Amino acid sequence: MGIGAFLLLGALLVKFYAYPKLAIAPIDQNSTTALEAKDATIFDIGTLKEIQTDLSIKATTRGDEKATEDAGGDTRVWAGTTTIRKDDGSIVSQSAEKVAFDGVSAEAKNCCGAFDESTAGERETVKRSGLVFKFPFDTEKKTYKVWDDSTQTAVDAKFVKEHEIKGLKVYQFKQEVPRTMTGTRDVPGDVVGETGATVTADEYYQNTRTFEIEPVTGAVVNRIEEQLVTLAIDGEDRATLTDATVQYTDKQVKEGVDDYSSKATLLSGVHGLYPLLMAILGLLAVGAGVLLHTRGAAGSRKVED
CA–CA separation, 147 and 107 (whole Å):
9
pLDDT computed for residue 281 by the predictor? 66
Residue 110's identity, in one-letter code, is N
Closest CA to 181 of 225, 235, 145: 235
Residue 81: is it exposed, middle or buried by C-beta count within 10 angstroms (0-12/13-18/19+)? middle
Q: Is the pLDDT of residue 278 over 70?
A: no
The partner residues of 284 in beta bridges, in order of sequence, read: none
Taking each helix axis from N to C end, the angle separating 274-304 and 2-13, rounded to the nearest 10 degrees, works out to 160
pLDDT computed for residue 111 by the predictor? 94
Task: Express each pLDDT in 55-87 by its tens digit.
Answer: 999 999 999 999 999 999 999 999 999 999 999
Closest CA to 34 of 92, 82, 80, 88: 82
What does pLDDT average to over the chain? 88
Task: Express each pLDDT in 167-204 by its tens digit.
Answer: 999 999 999 999 999 999 999 999 999 988 899 999 99
Identify the band that residue 10 occupies on the pLDDT scale cut at 50, 70 and 90: low
Judge whether 113 and 67 are in contact, CB under 8 Å.
Answer: yes
Own/partner contacts of 227-232, CB < 8 Å, gap of 24 or more, are 229/203, 229/204, 229/205, 230/203, 230/204, 231/185, 231/187, 231/191, 231/192, 231/201, 231/202, 231/203, 231/204, 232/192, 232/201, 232/202, 232/203, 232/204
Closest CA to 198 of 209, 189, 210, 211: 189
Query: In terms of pTM, does the model score above 0.75?
Result: yes
How close are the terminal C-alpha atoms of the chain, in Å?
Answer: 28
Task: Express each pLDDT in 119-169 by its tens digit.
Answer: 777 889 989 999 999 999 999 999 999 999 999 999 999 999 999 999 999
